[in-house]
Amino acid sequence: MKILIVEDEPKTGSYLKQGLTEAGFVCDLARTGPDGQHLALTEAYDLIILDVMLPGIDGWEVISRLRAAGKEVPVLFLTARDQVADRVRGLELGADDYMVKPFAFAELLARVRTLLRRGKPREADVLRVADLELDLLRRRATRGGKRIDLTAKEFALLELLMRRQGEVLSRSFIASQVWDMNFDSDTNVVEVAMRRLRAKIDDPFDRKVIHTLRGMGYVLELRDE
Ligand code: CA
């Protein structure tokens, strides 16, 4: 499996290349937008890890040009900005996933493997678990066809849980993903947000999708009850 990394920060680029190489991937590293675009158009890659802020042309432009040229290779965006607008823009342009910097390498590796396993180039715009639906582009949540109003953080939290359906997510992991907080941070904010989210998507319904595992974290899945 061959991966192209497009990242201008020397430390991050080398770290990614080394880590992915050790994990068994063949990696090329480009340090500018034009170099990344050139390699992506001329070589065959199974996945591209693409930084947004790059010298020359930025990540948005690179992915637009790749998709315009008919390249359907999966693209994992790296972004230092976790604005909702950026995520929407990336997904509209054809990104398959994104990670907010700084990230844990283990997390990146898991996403890389998922994208490669999935094998289909474009991610669905709507996440579904049973009768719960999350429309990523229109930023809308519904359950049983009923619209549910979520704050931006609740939406991000639900998106994370739905993307990781069936996986137990620790509070510190959730905090790092949704709030961009360090592992040492107070994770009470996660519990409060989770309670509000459950009040909206679970409390009015018979079948619960969010479950607490004491001392471990949370999991979103539909269980036989
Ligand atoms: Ca950069």
Residue 25 in any domain: the answer is yes
DSSP string, 135-179: ETTTTEEEETTEEE---HHHHHHHHHHHHTTT--B-HHHHHHHHS
**Ligand 1 mean position to 123 CA, how many Å?**
24
Domain with 75, as residue range(s), is 2-117
Instruction: Please indicate, yes or no, whether residues 58 and 111 belong to a single structural domain of this protein.
Output: yes
**Ligand 1 mean position to 79 CA, how many Å?**
8
**Ligand 1 mean position to 181 CA, how many Å?**
20
Instruction: Please indicate, yes or no, whether residues 41 and 105 belong to a single structural domain of this protein.
Output: yes
- Amino acid identity for residue 191 in this structure: E
CATH of the domain at 30: 3.40.50.2300
| Chosen domain end from 117, 148, 173 | 117
CA–CA dist 97, 84 (Å, integer): 13
**Ligand 1 mean position to 46 CA, how many Å?**
22
**Ligand 1 mean position to 59 CA, how many Å?**
9
Residue that has been written with the tokens 């997510």 in this structure: 169
171-178 and 188-201 helices cross at what angle (nearest 10)? 80
**Ligand 1 mean position to 176 CA, how many Å?**
20
pLDDT at position 94 = 79
pLDDT in tens, 160-202: 999 999 999 998 888 877 876 665 556 688 999 999 999 999 9
pLDDT higher at 85 or 15 = 15
**Ligand 1 mean position to 8 CA, how many Å?**
5
Instruction: Please indicate, yes or no, whether residues 112 and 127 belong to a single structural domain of this protein.
Output: no
Provide, rounded to the nearest whole percent, the portion of the chain with pLDDT above 90. 54
Q: Is the previous residue joined to 74 through a cis bond, with omega within 30 degrees of 0?
A: no
